[in-house]
Structure 1
């Protein structure tokens, strides 16, 4: 009986560390192909890193601001900055658990020329998502994209994998992709070297 209880606790803990609604066939690997970034899935990796020579650009991503209806936010608004794109939803337990880490990263990289840009997905009740931002003191902007249409512009990143985090260099080329919840330390280890790169 005691062993079953321990196993149940460990299983629950493991579930909180994995992506919400993750499709095992979709979340395997990503590679840069041709002239633009394209997501692909040979492998099984949850973290993918690109050397500078392997990076390829993303198209400009834009959409309605989650917090300021009628105001558009674009990736190009952050020209020359390292941008950490984070697809999240308040319904997603791993997304909720990483929110504090993302805010700590925002506070550290913003003065250095970096930002987090959230992409709020599958939250069809905008007010609930806005309340989550306010209640957690999140200061970084988010696009409001319930159907996750921007996934196509992100090189076809699978919409079934939330949270997804993509770290872009100063030219807005993916340098790292995380297909699971991330910690502030993981993000800073990947983002700070990019901030130090010349524009």
Structure 2
């Protein structure tokens, strides 16, 4: 089981930390990371970079949608994955940790797809040249979808992704409530440890 910590979850209207902060933030930046929106409020107490939410304390994030990165003219959003575990990953091809973790995210996505239980769902940020992000996806054999959201406009309503810390990964349970937040590069094992627990919750 997870090493769960009780965290404050409440309604709020403040949006994520300033976009002006530099890319690929260190754990030092994560100490003050706060993202608030919808019905979910996220804090990183003591600068922790892996935070876990017990089932009884989870609240749903707000829905969001935006342009599909790879399919211009089409939209994609959280509602497209109703009833599924969703591994949200805020990334940019300019970010070294994002480049390092992409293979792990792909492996996690493949297991979720094989199990029929969920998906990885990317939020591509600060890539103002769409073609560069698209090339990154193709070159790395990425099959999971991403919203194209350079200014973090569409995902701002989500509340659970600090825009000042890239990469960030938020794992949502089948009701789209945050079960875990990682303010650092993740491995497939980080992700799958959480998603397997969520699969067990759903089957209990």
CA deviation map 1:63-102 (0-9, x unaligned): 1000001111010110000000000000000000000000
Measure, in 1, the Cα distance between the counterparts of 2:35 and 2:65. 23
Structure 2 counterpart of 1:48: 51
Structure 2 counterpart of 1:81: 84
Residue number among 185, 190, 194 corresponding to 2:194 in the alignment: 190
The 1:82–1:67 alpha-carbon spacing in structure 2 relative to 1, beyond 3 Å, is same
User: Does the 8 A contact of 1:32 with 1:56 survive in 2?
Assistant: no
CA deviation map 1:143-197 (0-9, x unaligned): 0000112453232632110000000000000000000000001110011111232
TM-score by length of 1: 0.83
Q: 3-state SS of the aligned residue for 1:104?
A: helix
Q: Does 1:116 align with 2:111?
A: no
Residue number among 162, 165, 172 corresponding to 2:166 in the alignment: 162
Q: 3-state SS of the aligned residue for 2:88?
A: strand
The 1:144–1:40 alpha-carbon spacing in structure 2 relative to 1, beyond 3 Å, is same
Q: 3-state SS of the aligned residue for 1:24?
A: helix
Measure, in 2, the Cα distance between the counterparts of 1:77 and 1:38. 23
Provide the aligned length of Structure 1 versus Structure 2: 180
Measure, in 2, the Cα distance between the counterparts of 1:55 and 1:47. 16
Q: Does 1:90 align with 2:93?
A: yes
Measure, in 1, the Cα distance between the counterparts of 2:121 and 2:26. 22
Instruction: Identify unmatched segments of 5+ residues in structure 1.
Output: 1-18
Instruction: Identify unmatched segments of 5+ residues in structure 2.
Output: 1-22
CA RMSD across the alignment: 2.3
